[in-house]
Amino acid sequence: MKKLIVRMPNWIGDVVMSLPVLQDLKRKYPDIFLSVLIKENLKNLLDYNPYIDEIIDFKDKKEAFDKIDKKYENGLLLTNSFSSAYLFYKAKIKSFGYRKDFRSFLLKKSLDFPKDKLLKTFSKYKDIQVIFRVYEDCERVCNNA
């Protein structure tokens, strides 16, 4: 089975705004095994989400690394931090996300971070799917995972 791990945001509101990404991925690729990596205190927000096959919660970066190391080939970063990109890089996960905080060299494929504040707030999570082109490129990534 093909597997994809999504690193969820660290804030309640951002988690809620990012949920359509999971729905779109699962609708486009119903056979993909979709895992999410999320901070322990936010896990309950995802407990009954029908698009998620596995929830991996963590307290700190070491625990996160131990839970994902070499278990996933491809990952989508819905966070913008260097540390999230480094975590996936260190775990040998080909990651996709926004170019920000000098992390682009850690990413397999990246997009420029939106400059428009309104876009940043409302659609940055949906727009990140352009990388997969839940919409075209994901065909290759998701089908070769």
**CA distances from residue 139 to 8, 80, 124, 129, 131 in whole angstroms, order as listed:** 22, 24, 21, 12, 11
Helices and strands in the chain: count of H runs, count of E runs: 6, 6
Q: Into which CATH architecture does domain 3-143 fall?
A: 3-Layer(aba) Sandwich (3.40)
User: What pTM was computed for the model?
Assistant: 0.82
Residues ≥6 apart with Cβ < 8 Å to 7: 36, 37, 75, 76, 77, 78, 79, 84, 87, 88
Q: Which range has highest mean pLDDT (43-52, 66-75, 115-124)?
A: 43-52
Side-chain-side CA neighbours of 20 within 13 Å: the count stands at: 11
- Domain spans in the chain, listed from the N-terminal domain onward: 3-143
pLDDT tens digits, one per residue of 69-85 = 888 989 999 988 899 99
The more confident residue out of 124 and 87 is 87
